[in-house]
Structure 1
């Protein structure tokens, strides 16, 4: 499993709050809060499909990481569902 899929899997399983994040026009960006207080961000083009998601910034109390990892369509479908529910 690729890193982007692992991050999406964790966020979809453990996410407690989903918030659309500010993004440039034409970008869909989600912030998924995890139980430990960290936040994982995902984004794709607004015209993209479930296979176009990327795992991006990870925020955690006291630290953070910048990712640019692809998420496969299998896990991207879950992110699409969350994005359309917002």
Structure 2
């Protein structure tokens, strides 16, 4: 089974649908709200600063959440519909 972490925020309009989708499809995940905890924000920024997947997102001036990290960075997704159910 994959280890899934979702970085998001209650302030993000795209994050709630992602959480609902994962829950409805019985996909186990850990949700980390980057606007409620500085440690979660630091973990997210480490991926955002170091991973090429974020290049176009940063270039467009976007944050990059929801960010779905699979198996400690083996894969990073921004669209929850790309997850295999």
Instruction: Name the TM tier (shorter chain).
Output: under 0.3
TM-score scaled by structure 1? 0.28
Structure whose residues are more often strand by fraction:
1
TM-score (norm 2): 0.28
Structure number with the bigger relative contact order (C-alpha 8 A, sep ≥ 6) is: 2
Structure with greater proportional helix content? 2
